[in-house]
């Protein structure tokens, strides 16, 4: 035991005007109470301490810090009564200090040895600033005041962490310092004020809450007598694991090398050996297949053995998948031994002069995320005890590897989004593969190569749900709104004529009359419509606002007009708003229907499904062997889609018809299918972020799609597409052979009308010989 004074704060304590002194009386009163209550042999021990205290006339009042060393024997009694009976003072860091001052005056040799070492200013921010230390002191002081004098309980636990380098291992060691104020008595020197405990509790949650408390309860009101007890414990293992967790949660993008170096250092701290090496190998996958990772962590021994310098991608995938199927742990204190030389896969480790070796598979939610390698070089070895000491680090290291995998996946995804687009699951594998090739070349410093993403020999299916006469309906709505707008303006200008006789007013009235005539006679085109909107929304509107500011008599009339013609809520836009609401109602319902159907279609066979928003909804579907190379494609998969095409058009027609009661403006839809019975090639166009047909022959398919939406029946003015009907356009009779049995099936099940119209269509630009079937829908 040592009886000397030591500043445990490391000289970080700021001056504090506090009436504090050492006194043994709180401890003596505690013993007297224990003697009265204790029925075991401890009672005799406590009585001996009290007898010693009184016989040696130890002061019952205050004891100056520089005189406390005179009572070393009594302090040993205090230590014996407060420490564990079987604890060795050589293994226990225990001490006593002044109340609320960081001055230790008595303690075990181990305590002084630990606290005399110079703490590290480490990257883990264990050391507190003087301001932080002062804040914690005041928090403890006011906690004691409130507990002892107001019976207001606030949980408090003052902790300090110290770190320094172990001279034998060269590694960090961490210790936790706990301060117990059990034997500190608090008294008030004047009458205590009443407190609002709701506010007091709130102050304790604030960083500078003690400043508010000092205003209400200044420290010169109180006296503190007694001593505090300090215990110090080794928390190296706990802090090493915490540091690994901090690295995980405080990671910085692009800081992987430093991040993993801190992890390796923490693992060495955990096993307390600088001669044991570590390596981490994450299991990353592309399309469910293992591929090389690029995060070399530690010695890199696993990357040398399992990486691309030694294994081809196919060899690595085979070995990695074999290990993933049976991810067993491995440990040997000496892989150079005779028995271990019979294990073939250890040969590359032996070639690198590895001696002791442990391989531990790491999991997150039962998913293998990587391997932790613990090893030594040359003649250095470790045993099972060292390996066992790592167990508490397995979970946080596994989480870190899982984070690396997630970052790897996000990097692939970002490349896909940067170079491609948001990709559907059916073709995601192709983009993953291309992105990995791109990433692989970039990591190797090779020139970037643009990789064409294409699918060959796929069957196209096209469908369109169009809003009948949407262009005419829109023009009619616009003319109705503009006519109403001009009528309101004309009425207002007439009412203002007697109040404003300016030339500008006369000009406005002239142009208003001209525009009313043009609208009434249907003489508007896109250019004149734009000019009219400029006249109404800028020229006339701006002048009227100016006039209302100049002449208050005009303000009521003009304000009423401006409200009715408001760009968003104005009544003059009613017809267009009703049309837009009706179209939005249809498109939202149809779009939702196809979104729900898209996932169901993938169950039979993966296909690419792309929708386009026009006045209605159009879609392209591509299906074929190249979309999913691992699954055999059969013509039945195509026939299944074609039956779905017909059935879905019936469902969509019924869906939109059912919305008529909700539409402000009654609108009907038409349903069109273009049948192309030949395979085509498609490729991804990076500039447009979409798939498009490839090759001169295939472009003809795209051209037909764009020209048939308004096609007429040959020798008539009748449009092919009509509400309550489905139109199938084709070039040759053999193209629709797949559809005919399905049409008959739907007619016999009363989904389609029994009659089928077989029609010839008008010649289009560069296109002749089109034919069609038109089928009535039964509601």
Confidence tier at 297 by pLDDT (50, 70, 90) = low
Q: How distant, in Å, are the alpha carbons of 492, 513, 572 from that of 486? A: 10, 8, 9
Specify the pLDDT at position 124. 39
pLDDT tier at 11, thresholds 50, 70, 90: low
90 — pLDDT class (breaks 50, 70, 90): confident
pLDDT digits (tens, 9 = 90+) for 656-707: 999 999 999 999 999 999 999 999 998 887 666 677 777 666 788 888 888 9
CATH 3.30.450.40 correct for 239-419: yes
Q: Which residue has the tokens 């031994």?
A: 337
What stretches of 158-282 adopt beta strand conformation (E)?
A: 159-165, 172-188, 222-234, 277-282
Confidence (pLDDT) at 670? 96
Q: Name the more confident of 125 and 633.
A: 633
Distances from the Cα of 20 to the Cαs of 100, 150, 184, 223, in angstroms? Answer: 7, 20, 10, 6
**Binning pLDDT at 50, 70 and 90, where does residue 755 land?**
very high
Per the rule left: phi > 0, alpha: psi between -120 and 50, beta: everything else, 288 is left
DSSP string, 303-324: HHHHSTTTS-HHHHHHHHHHHH
The rounded distance, in Å, linking the Cα atoms of 752 and 746 is 6
For residue 186, the cross-strand partners are 224
360 pLDDT above the threshold of 50: yes
| 112-144: pLDDT as tens digits | 887 776 554 443 344 567 777 788 788 888 888
Q: Per the structure block, which two tokens stand in for 588? A: 């939202």
More confident residue, 292 or 597: 597
- Percent of the chain's residues with pLDDT above 70: 93
Q: For 307-326, what is the mean pLDDT?
A: 87
pLDDT classification of 167: cutoffs 50, 70, 90: confident
Least confident of 56-60, 203-207, 655-659: 203-207
Backbone φ, ψ for residue 181 (5° rounding):
-95, 30
The whole-number average pLDDT for the span 536-554 is: 92
For residue 623, list its beta bridge partners.
459
**Sequence-distant (≥ 6) Cβ neighbours of residue 641 within 8 angstroms:** 461, 601, 604, 607, 621, 623
> In this model, does residue 527 exceed pLDDT 90?
no
Looking at residues 731-749, what average pLDDT do you find? 95
Average pLDDT over residues 142-152: 89
Q: How confident is the model at residue 255 (pLDDT cuts 50, 70, 90)?
A: low
What is the overall mean pLDDT for the chain?
Answer: 87
**pLDDT score at 763:** 93
Over residues 314-326, mean pLDDT: 88
Region 368-394: mean pLDDT is: 93
Domain segments of the chain: what residues? 6-234, 239-419, 472-571, 578-777
Q: Is the pLDDT of residue 644 over 80?
A: yes
- Mind listing the pLDDT tens digit for each residue in 432-446? 888 888 888 888 888
Q: Tokens in use for 543? A: 């002048």
Q: Give me the percent of the chain exceeding a pLDDT of 90.
A: 52
């Amino acid at each position: 035991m040592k009886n000397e004074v030591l500043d445990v704060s490391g000289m970080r304590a700021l001056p504090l005007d506090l009436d504090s002194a050492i006194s043994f009386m709180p401890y003596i009163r505690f013993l007297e109470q224990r003697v009265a209550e204790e029925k075991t042999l401890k009672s005799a021990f406590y009585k001996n301490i009290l007898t010693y205290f009184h016989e040696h006339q130890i002061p019952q009042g205050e004891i100056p810090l520089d005189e406390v060393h005179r009572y070393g024997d009594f302090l040993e009694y205090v230590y014996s009564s407060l420490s564990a009976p079987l604890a060795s003072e050589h293994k226990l860091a225990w001490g006593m200090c002044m109340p609320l001052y960081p001055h230790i005056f008595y303690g075990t040799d181990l305590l002084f040895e630990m606290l005399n070492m110079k703490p590290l200013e480490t990257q883990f921010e264990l050391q507190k600033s003087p301001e932080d230390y002062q804040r914690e002191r005041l928090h403890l002081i006011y906690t004691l005041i409130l507990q002892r004098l107001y019976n207001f309980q606030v949980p408090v636990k003052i902790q300090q962490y110290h770190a320094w380098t172990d001279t034998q291992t060269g590694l960090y060691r961490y210790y936790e310092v706990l301060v117990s104020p059990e034997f500190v008595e608090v008294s008030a020197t004047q009458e205590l004020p009443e407190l609002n405990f709701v506010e007091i509790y709130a102050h304790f949650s604030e960083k500078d809450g003690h400043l508010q408390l000092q205003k209400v309860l200044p420290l010169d009101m109180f006296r503190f007598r007694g001593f505090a007890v300090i215990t110090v414990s080794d928390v190296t293992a706990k802090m090493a694991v915490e540091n690994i967790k901090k690295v995980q949660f405080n990671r910085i993008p692009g800081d992987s090398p430093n991040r993993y170096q801190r992890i390796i250092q923490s693992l060495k701290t955990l096993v307390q050996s600088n001669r044991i090496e570590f390596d981490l190998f994450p299991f990353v996958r592309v399309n469910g297949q293992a591929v090389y990772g690029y995060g070399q962590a530690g010695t890199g021994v696993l990357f040398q053995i399992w990486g691309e310098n030694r294994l081809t991608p196919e060899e690595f995938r085979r070995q990695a998948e074999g290990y993933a199927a049976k991810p067993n742990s491995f440990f040997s204190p000496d892989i150079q031994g005779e028995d271990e030389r019979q294990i073939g896969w250890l040969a590359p480790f032996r070639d690198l002069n590895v001696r002791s070796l442990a391989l531990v598979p790491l999991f997150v939610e039962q998913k293998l995320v990587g391997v932790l390698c613990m090893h030594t070089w040359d003649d250095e070895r470790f045993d099972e005890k060292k390996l066992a000491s790592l167990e508490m680090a397995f979970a946080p290291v596994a989480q870190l590897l899982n984070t690396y995998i997630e970052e790897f996946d996000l990097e692939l995804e970002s490349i896909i989004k940067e170079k491609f687009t948001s990709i559907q699951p059916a073709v995601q594998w192709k983009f993953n593969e291309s992105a990995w090739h791109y990433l692989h070349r970039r990591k190797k410093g090779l020139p970037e190569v643009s990789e064409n993403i294409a699918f060959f020999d796929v069957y196209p299916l096209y469908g369109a749900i169009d809003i009948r006469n949407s262009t005419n309906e829109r023009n009619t709505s616009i003319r109705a709104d503009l006519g109403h707008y001009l009528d309101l303006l004309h009425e207002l200008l007439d009412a203002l004529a007697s109040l404003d006789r300016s030339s500008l007013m006369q000009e406005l009235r002239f142009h208003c009359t001209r525009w009313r005539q043009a609208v009434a006679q249907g003489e508007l085109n896109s250019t004149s419509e734009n000019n009219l909107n400029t006249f109404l929304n800028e020229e006339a509107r701006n002048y009227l606002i100016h006039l209302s500011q100049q002449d208050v008599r005009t303000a009521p009339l003009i304000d009423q007009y401006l409200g009715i013609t408001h760009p968003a809520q104005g009544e003059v836009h009613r017809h267009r708003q009703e049309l837009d609401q009706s179209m939005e109602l249809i498109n939202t319902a149809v779009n939702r229907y196809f979104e729900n159907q898209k996932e169901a279609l993938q169950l039979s066979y993966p296909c690419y499904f792309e929708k386009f928003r026009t006045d209605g909804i159009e879609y392209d579907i591509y299906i074929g062997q190249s979309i999913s190379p691992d699954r055999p494609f059969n013509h039945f998969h195509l026939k299944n889609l074609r039956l779905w095409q017909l059935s879905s058009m019936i469902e969509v027609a019924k869906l939109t018809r059912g919305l008529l009661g909700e539409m402000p403006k009654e609108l009907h839809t038409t349903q069109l299918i273009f049948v192309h019975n030949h395979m085509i090639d498609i490729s991804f166009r990076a500039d447009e972020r979409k798939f498009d047909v490839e090759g001169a022959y295939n472009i003809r398919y795209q051209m037909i799609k764009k020209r048939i939406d308004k096609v007429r029946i040959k020798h008539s003015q009748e449009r092919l597409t009509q509400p309550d009907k489905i139109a199938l356009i084709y070039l040759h009779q053999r193209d629709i052979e797949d559809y005919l049995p399905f049409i008959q099936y739907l007619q016999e099940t009363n989904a389609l009308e029994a009659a089928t119209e077989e029609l010839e269509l008008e010649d289009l630009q560069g296109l002749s010989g089109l034919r069609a079937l038109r089928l009535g829908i039964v509601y």
